[in-house]
Amino acid sequence: MKNTLIICILTITLKAYAQNSLPYNPGTSLALVENPVKKEKNILSKPKGLTVREVKWSALENLLNSNTDTTYIVNFWATWCGPCVKELPYFEQLNRSFAGQKVKIVLVSMDFVQDKDKRVVPFVERMQLKNTVWLLNEPDANSWIDRVDPSWSGALPATLILNPTNKKRAFYEKSLNYETLAHALGYFVGY
């Protein structure tokens, strides 16, 4: 009788645990995986036009040295970086707020290239990111970090705002909120 009771309690406990366990990836906010069944459906049904483009340093360098009057916001982030994940919605909000302006937001993922399909693309879909998303395929960060900004230690998140035509440039090696981003961008677009 005692053994049967222990087995019943153990079975109930294990079933309850199995039903309530959440998939967890390091660096992912638990709020992002609050209902794994719904999130998996979003991952499987890819919205039109949503892609993560794998790029080399040369693509980023071309953007940094472009000859346009567009203001670029380049955010360096990773799926495993909690502060990065927290600020991504602010870049989406910024994109909506400055729609119609000569502003382009590029989110550069620093995740491993081999994690693109199993981690980065599902994350981008789950977050419903509309901004351009690049996955930087450059294993030797020391060869290009200083070219983004000499003050950058390589820590994430990091954001570069620049307008190549008027030579305005601002670099932030920290997590930003919407107000800070909008204020900084206002300087570039004349608000």
What are 29-57's pLDDT values in tens digits? 333 333 333 333 332 233 455 689 999 99
What are 67-125's pLDDT values in tens digits? 888 999 999 999 999 999 999 999 999 999 999 999 999 999 999 999 999 999 999 99
CA dist 70 and 76 (Å) reads: 19
Angle of CA points 185, 94, 43, to nearest 5°:
145
Per-residue pLDDT band for 190 (boundaries 50, 70, 90) equals: confident
Tell me which amino acid residue 63 is: L
What are 153-178's pLDDT values in tens digits? 999 999 999 998 888 999 999 999 99
The full set of domains in the chain, from first to last, is: 27-189 (3.40.30.10)
Tell me which amino acid residue 136 is: L
Strand ordering across the sheet containing 158-163:
52-55, 132-136, 103-109, 71-77, 158-163, 168-172
pLDDT at 20: 37
pLDDT at 164: 86
Annotate 75-112 with b (16+ C-beta within 10 A) or e (fewer): bbbbbbbeebbebbebbbebbeebeeeebbbbbbbbbe
